[in-house]
């Protein structure tokens, strides 16, 4: 893979990780469309590290407040005393479903990542989820009012995003909307909940990166990392502004067009 291709994939990852249109689906489908070598799992991990940096930089005040509150309340033996500490534990609990399913089905997921048709089909599922979330949105609950069942359900939606084509941000935003969060609150919680998931995806690849012998590979990985980080930061800021006064329907339409279009072209090509 060339540096230009790595930068392209980094921009693609950064733009689609936080917009509810599935980064994994695009990383599978787009290379197949433009006749480009698909990203291996190591490159995908590097790109996730780039988007992890983006979310850490954007939300560093929130994350620092959560971390210090958790440690402070643990020292006081009152782990749920403050809203910030409780939010930290909600994020931990909400991350459990994705961890469990990821460990159980790791080999099967690697197989699915080689199937663009599967990614296109799951993009259609993402489109349906976004429509359902908008239709069921009640917008009455704040993060401080969230219950443990809420975060487990939202986390279960996140676990579905292990499938290429199911948007992590989209599915968790939808989970939040279904559980009564308004659109901006659901989006913000989605980004915070994504920190452990994105971190896990990235860190799993670090051993492979460290063991790589070719300096060319390191340069390629670095180019993808920087492109993903910069693009991801810009897309976080964009989506948080967008959801204040716009629906998610436009992203549902986009997912339906890309997923349905790819399946249609594949069907016609094979006939």
Instruction: Give residue 211's pLDDT.
Output: 63
CA distance 67 to 65: 6
Tens of pLDDT, residue by residue, the chain (271 residues): 788 888 998 999 899 989 999 887 888 888 778 877 766 667 777 888 899 899 999 999 999 999 999 999 988 888 888 889 999 999 999 999 988 887 777 667 766 666 788 889 999 999 999 999 999 887 788 888 899 999 999 999 999 888 888 999 999 999 999 999 999 999 999 999 989 888 877 776 666 666 655 555 778 888 999 999 999 999 999 999 999 999 999 999 999 999 999 999 888 876 5
Domain housing 9 = 3-270
Instruction: Give residue 218's pLDDT.
Output: 77
Instruction: Give residue 19's pLDDT.
Output: 93
For 214, phi then psi, to 5°, come to -80, 130
Count of structural domains within the chain: 1
CA distance 59 to 233: 10
Q: How many CA atoms lie within 13 A of 102 on its CB side?
A: 18
Nearest to 198 by CA among 50, 87, 70: 50
Tokens at 77, concatenated: 């033996």
- Whole-model pTM: value is 0.88
Instruction: Give residue 220's pLDDT.
Output: 85
**Whether 181 contacts 151, CB under 8 Å:** no
């Amino acid at each position: 893979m060339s540096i230009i291709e790595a930068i392209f994939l980094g921009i693609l990852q950064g733009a689609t990780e936080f917009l509810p249109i599935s980064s994994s689906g695009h990383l599978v489908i787009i290379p197949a469309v433009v006749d480009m070598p698909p990203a291996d799992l190591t490159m995908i991990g590097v790109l996730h590290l780039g988007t992890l940096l983006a979310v850490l930089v954007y939300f560093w005040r929130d994350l620092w407040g959560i971390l210090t509150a958790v440690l402070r309340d643990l020292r006081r033996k009152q782990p749920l005393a403050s809203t910030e500490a409780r939010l930290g534990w909600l994020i931990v609990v909400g991350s459990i479903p994705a961890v469990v399913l990821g460990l159980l089905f790791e080999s099967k997921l690697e197989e699915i990542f080689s199937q663009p048709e599967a990614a296109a089909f799951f993009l259609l599922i993402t489109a349906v989820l976004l429509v359902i979330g908008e239709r069921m949105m009640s917008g009455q609950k704040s993060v401080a009012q969230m219950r443990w069942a809420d975060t487990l359900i939202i986390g279960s939606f996140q676990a579905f995003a292990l499938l290429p084509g199911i948007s992590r941000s989209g599915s968790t935003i939808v989970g939040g909307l279904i559980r009564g969060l308004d659109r901006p609150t659901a989006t913000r919680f989605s980004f915070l909940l994504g920190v452990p998931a994105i971190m896990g995806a990235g860190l799993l690849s670090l051993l492979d990166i460290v063991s790589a012998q070719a300096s060319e590979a390191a340069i390629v990985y670095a180019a993808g990392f920087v492109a993903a980080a910069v693009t991801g930061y810009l897309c976080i800021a964009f989506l948080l502004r967008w959801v204040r006064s716009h629906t998610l329907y436009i992203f549902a339409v986009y997912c339906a067009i890309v997923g349905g279009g790819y399946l249609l072209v594949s069907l016609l090509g094979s006939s």
